[in-house]
Chains A and B, each alone.
Chain A
Amino acid sequence: MKNNKVIQVEGLTKMFGDFTAVDAITFDVKKGEIFGFLGANGAGKTTAIKMLIGISNPTSGKATVAGFDVLTNPNDIKRNIGYMSQRFALYDDLTVKENITFFGGIYGLSRKRIKEKSEALIEELGLENVASQLVGSLPLGWKQKLSFSVSLIHDPKIVFLDEPTGGVDPITRRQFWEMIYKAANQGTTVFVTTHYMDEAEYCDRVSIMVDGRIEALDTPKKLKEQFQAESMNDVFLKLARG
Chain B
Amino acid sequence: MKPLITLEGVNKYYGDYHALRDIDLTIGEGEFFSLLGPSGCGKTTLLRTIAGFETVSDGLVAIGGKDMAGVPANLRPTNMVFQSYAIFPHLSVAENVAFGLRKRPDIDKRTAVTEALSMVGLAGYEKRAAHALSGGQRQRVALARALILKPKVLLLDEPLSALDKKMREQMQVELIKLQRHVGITFILVTHDQEEALVMSDRIAVMFEGRIGQLADAETLYRRPRNRQVAEFIGKMNFLEADVQPAAEGYDLRVAGLGAVSVAAAQAPEPVHGSAGVVGLRPETLNLLFDGETTKQMLVDGQVDEVVYYGDMTYYDVRIQGVEKPLNIAMKNVIGRPVLDVGAPTRVVWDPRALVLFDRNG
The answer on A and B forming one complex is no
